[in-house]
Amino acid sequence: MIYATKILFVWQRLIPEYCVNLWLERVAWVGSQNCVVSTFPSGKSAKLHVYGQTERCCRKLVKNYGGKLIKTKGSDWIKASLQPIILPFPPHLCVVSEGQVPKKWRHLPKLWIPAGMAFGTGDHATTGMCLRQVLQRCRGGKKRVLDLGTGSGILALAAAAQGHAVVAMDFDAESIRTAKANIKRNEISGSVRWIHADVKTWEPKGSKFDLIVANLFSSLLIVALPKMKRWLKPEGEVILSGVLKTQLPEVLSELSRLKLEVKRVLKKGKWVCIVVGS
């Protein structure tokens, strides 16, 4: 597995539960794929982790926001915090981190994504909702797909497994390294071009995209939406997630301002996924 011996740096802080949204926006600069919030039964407090980062990044977080830095071996962290994941997305594929797939799902094509420190094995609400929409919209014909905030590469690999050409970008270099390792674990008929860049400054080369998927924080989505509109082909679609229910009105307002059509709004727990047309 990835990170079997690598030393990982994790930033941890206890926060009031009613301030979770504020804190997620506050640390958005580290990348949404690196943030995990754990709540407690009391409903009064929560624990915020930022993981997979460099020591320098974590020390900056401690300096700016308090909390503490945790230094651990990747194998110890994964073993302590992650269990094998088997997620069926019939009739398209089954996402597997490790272990035996139940008999009723063995006929599905497998997408192997080991549980690692890059975000995205499909079990998080935002990833799962995006993945279902990507699989539905990648049926038939060759498409050009853009995956912004690729994390583990799961959405890019799912599209490429259907034979499509994908450009996958992430601000976090470790995510790109992980995603490149994940593509080697799978039989992929399409192609993926991996890019380490910041969506706020990056501009793609080549033709426009049939499908764009962006699983990012809402503040970053709002900044990037005008660019996504420019990158999208006529009749193309955008899948947006990483949006909390409380942030939905602000995102919908920006979509209205840009004259982008909202086709579907899906909700799972406190998270929202929006399907948009040009």
pLDDT in tens, 115-165: 654 445 555 778 888 999 999 898 878 899 999 999 889 999 999 998 999
Average pLDDT score, the chain: 83
pLDDT beyond 80 at 207 = yes
Residue of 46, 21, 50, 55 whose CA lies nearest to 34 = 50
Q: Is residue 74 part of a domain?
A: yes
2-16, 55-69, 247-261: least confidently modelled range:
2-16
Q: What is the mean pLDDT of residues 225-230?
A: 97
The label of the residue with tokens 């790109």 reads 176
Residues 148 and 238 in one domain: yes
Residue 210 sits in the same domain as residue 149: yes
Q: Show the tokens assigned to 96.
A: 């597997």
Contact assessment for residue 78 and residue 117, using Cβ atoms and an 8 Å cutoff: yes
What average pLDDT does range 103-112 have in this prediction? Answer: 83
Q: Which domain holds residue 54?
A: 7-78
Do 22 and 157 lie in one domain? The reply is no
Token pair of 145, please? 């797909």
d(CA 219, CA 224): 9
Res 82 pLDDT > 50: no
Q: Are residues 72 and 172 in the same domain?
A: no
Residue 96 CA to residue 273 CA, distance in Å, equals 23
Residue 233 domain-assigned (yes or no): yes
Tokens representing 5?
């011996």
Q: How confident is the model at residue 42 (pLDDT cuts 50, 70, 90)?
A: low
- Same domain as 139, residue 67: no
- CATH number of the domain within which 178 lies: 3.40.50.150
Residue 63 maps to a domain: yes
25 within domain boundaries:
yes
